[in-house]
Amino acid sequence: MKHGAGQQSTYPLAYDVATRPWDPRMSDAGITLSEAPSTPAHRHAALIACLAFGAVTMLCAPFASAAWPNVPAFFPAYQMLTAFCYALTAWLMFGDYRQGGRPSTLVLAAGSLWTALILVAQLLSVPGTVGAERLIGGDQTTIHLWMWWHLGPPLFALLFAGIHARFPGGTSDADQRRTASTLTFSGAAFAFFGVLLLVTHFQDSLPALNHGADFSLIVTTGVAPFVTLLSAAAAVAIWVVTRGRTVLSLWLVVSLVALVCDNVITMLGGFRNSVGWYVGRFEAFASAATLLMAFQLRMHEIARTAAQSASALALELAARHRAERAMLQGQKLEGLGQLTGGVAHDFGNILQLLTNELELIRRRAPDDFTRQRAESALRATERGAKLTRQLLTFAKRQPLHFETVDLNARIAEVAEMARSVVGPMSLELALAPELWPIVTDANELDSAILNLIMNARDAMPDGGVLRIATANTQARRDDGSTAEFVRIEFVDTGTGMAPEVLARAWEPFFTTKPAGKGTGLGLATVYGFVKQSGGNATLESTAGAGTTVALTLPKGAPSALPADAAESGPPARILSLIRREAAD
């Protein structure tokens, strides 16, 4: 189709990434685990995890004391994996503190480091792990290290709750954070070596808490129940202080619940290689891995949010590019309109003077030859006057006579009369049954409809289909407000337009027709008329895939529509327009 329109976007030109409403998903705040707010999905998952730990413990409790075959290398593998989880958690917690600066996070980093070191030491104190004999300590070293291990998480969790309640914020000084991290790391290491010295060199002075593989003594002395109650108290304290508002505090509670279940089922087992002991090892490992899983899920959320933000930003930039391109196109057309409007106005005055003089000559011509020459000159001035009107319409200076119009009736009338000149092209009408009336100049509307029909005919010399459809719609005005409009679409199956042609389609005097076959003012006139009527004109086209021209015109008041609106258009004028278009 030999026509086009610069796409008029409703995207606000003043929009900027920095001025859009704040979106917490795209903010730096909450990127760390200690600052990220927990969502209902997090809370539901945490509740399910706690219930699962409790259910496993209850199901295994009746036969916890039953013996289970010894699994070779199970204990060393479990111990190393658990220690690795705590060590990795410590490293991530130190990084979290360096990012967010919350002192409560630093406490958890120290606790994780402490627990990892205790687990390694306990592994080395077990006979047969790295040789026939234990590497460090004596008979009571392993069970006392177990006690210090299980005391570590709840004690540091209680410190976490207290410091979080007292100092909920973080420090912004990077040097202070580095110094605090170094001191905390050193303190945890020194505390570990102090405990290690106590349970190895002074292990003979320590109270007996077990007899070989029998753990009943640690239960009857109250040590294991005390550690279990301490873990439960720590979980309650964290919940009371934080209410699980952050991802870190929520999953820390889950970790402590798993540790409570570990202690309970291990006490019920009573000795190594019992069912309770094996189940307890898995729950202890799950406790150690809980915060790691929380970190992993948080990283996944950040990556997903970053991908969504990148996609949204790409769409915003593309929309802004389209808006800027439309703005430049509009400014270019506005400049052309001002130039052509001024020239057309002066040219029209000259033509009016010539027309008057030629009419006077024709009336007073002394012979037929002079009269014929005058009439020929008058026809030329009429064509010049038509060209002038088109230029003034494009420049939005042509006076319009606004009235309420039945659009469906006008389209049907013009299309019916144009069928005789469209050649092999087929015209299809898809008119909305309850279409709103519009406010516009009826005569200029007829010209615009006919112009687009003829352009479609030229784009399909071998035949094709032009579909004209109407619909009620809502669209944005130039001032950004939303109003009710009527939309007209001209969809053809013609040759379409290349991008470089599409970019210039609204420009006056631009045409792809052969020389002498068109003025290049048809689409420019349609564009000017629609904009002067308070509407908008857009175009979509692809080379070889046809063209769609869409016009939106403002809705009118139904009460102002004449009763005989379907017959309000002068058929004689439409026929005159068709004859002129066919002649052109």
Give the other-Cβ count within 10 Å of 142's Cβ. 23
Q: What pLDDT, on the 0 to 100 scale, is given for residue 576?
A: 52
Q: Are residues 305 and 25 in contact, defined by beta-carbon separation less than 8 angstroms?
A: yes
Q: What pLDDT, on the 0 to 100 scale, is given for residue 331?
A: 60
Percent with pLDDT over 70 in the chain: 77
Q: Which residues contact 205 (CB under 8 A, 6 or more apart)?
A: none
Confidence band, pLDDT 50/70/90 cuts, at residue 13: very low
**What mean pLDDT comes out for the span 378-388?**
71
**Which residue bears the tokens 């070889």?**
544
- Between 522 and 543, whose confidence is greater? 543
Distance CA 252, CA 241 (A): 13
Can you tell me whether residue 478 is helix, strand or coil? coil
- Evaluated on CA atoms 353, 359, 361, 363, the torsion sign reads negative
Mode of pairing for the β-strands spanning 547-554 and 464-476: unpaired
What DSSP designation does 553 have? E
Q: What pLDDT, on the 0 to 100 scale, is given for residue 513?
A: 61
**What mean pLDDT comes out for the span 12-37?**
47
Q: What pLDDT, on the 0 to 100 scale, is given for residue 401?
A: 76
- Between 282 and 505, whose confidence is greater? 282
DSSP 110-155: HHHHHHHHHHHHHHHTSTTSSSSS-SS--TTHHHHHHHHHHHHHHH
**What mean pLDDT comes out for the span 40-68?**
92
- Between 302 and 112, whose confidence is greater? 112
What's the residue count for the chain? 584
Q: What pLDDT, on the 0 to 100 scale, is given for residue 193?
A: 92
The segment with the largest mean pLDDT, out of 33-47, 220-234, 299-313, 316-330, is: 220-234
The segment with the largest mean pLDDT, out of 228-242, 321-335, 337-351, 420-434, is: 228-242
At 540, the amino acid letter reads E
- Between 370 and 480, whose confidence is greater? 370
Q: What pLDDT, on the 0 to 100 scale, is given for residue 51?
A: 95
Domains by residue range for the chain, with CATH: 50-59+73-397 (1.20.1070), 399-583 (3.30.565.10)
Q: What pLDDT, on the 0 to 100 scale, is given for residue 172?
A: 65
Q: What pLDDT, on the 0 to 100 scale, is given for residue 98?
A: 81
Q: Are residues 33 and 109 in contact, defined by beta-carbon separation less than 8 angstroms?
A: no
**What mean pLDDT comes out for the span 208-233?**
84
- Between 502 and 516, whose confidence is greater? 502
Confidence band, pLDDT 50/70/90 cuts, at residue 337: low
Q: Which secondary structure element, helix H or strand E, spans residue 438, and what is its range?
A: strand 438-441
What sections of 395-490 are H helices per DSSP?
407-418, 442-459
**What mean pLDDT comes out for the span 313-340?**
69
Q: Flag whether pLDDT at 390 surpasses 70.
A: no
Distance CA 483, CA 530 (A): 16
Complete edge-to-edge strand list for the sheet that includes strand 547-554: 425-430, 464-476, 482-492, 547-554, 536-541
Q: What pLDDT, on the 0 to 100 scale, is given for residue 343?
A: 60
Buried b (16+ CB within 10 A) or exposed e, 90-114: bebbbbbbbbbbbbbbbbbbbbbbb
Q: Flag whether pLDDT at 4 surpasses 50.
A: no
Residue 257, Cβ density class (10 Å: 0-12 exposed, 13-18 middle, ≥19 buried): buried
The segment with the largest mean pLDDT, out of 17-21, 33-37, 218-222, is: 218-222
Q: Which of 578, 461, 453, 572 is nearest to 513 (CA)?
A: 461
Q: Flag whether pLDDT at 215 surpasses 90.
A: no
pLDDT tens readout for residues 509-519? 666 665 545 55
**What mean pLDDT comes out for the span 482-511?**
82
Q: Flag whether pLDDT at 508 surpasses 80.
A: no
Q: What pLDDT, on the 0 to 100 scale, is given for residue 28?
A: 41
- Between 443 and 9, whose confidence is greater? 443
Instruction: Determine which of 499-503, 540-544, 549-553 has the lowest per-residue pLDDT on average.
Output: 499-503
Tokens, residue 116: 């990892």
Mean pLDDT of the chain: 78
**Which residue bears the tokens 């753990």?**
215
Q: Flag whether pLDDT at 139 surpasses 70.
A: yes
**Which residue bears the tokens 């389609």?**
505
Distance CA 358, CA 360 (A): 5
Q: Flag whether pLDDT at 446 surpasses 80.
A: yes
Confidence band, pLDDT 50/70/90 cuts, at residue 39: confident
Percent with pLDDT over 90 in the chain: 21
Instruction: Determine which of 61-75, 165-179, 311-325, 384-398 has the lowest per-residue pLDDT on average.
Output: 384-398
Q: Flag whether pLDDT at 430 surpasses 80.
A: yes
At 257, the amino acid letter reads V
Q: Are residues 528 and 395 in contact, defined by beta-carbon separation less than 8 angstroms?
A: yes
Q: What is the pTM of this model?
A: 0.54
Q: Flag whether pLDDT at 185 surpasses 80.
A: yes
For residue 297, give Cα distances in angstroms to 8, 38, 247, 410, 539. 44, 12, 10, 62, 46
**What mean pLDDT comes out for the span 250-255?**
92
Torsion of CA 306, 308, 313, 318, to 10 degrees: 140
501-507-511 Cα angle (round to 5): 55
Distance CA 20, CA 12 (A): 12
Q: Are residues 547 and 1 in contact, defined by beta-carbon separation less than 8 angstroms?
A: yes
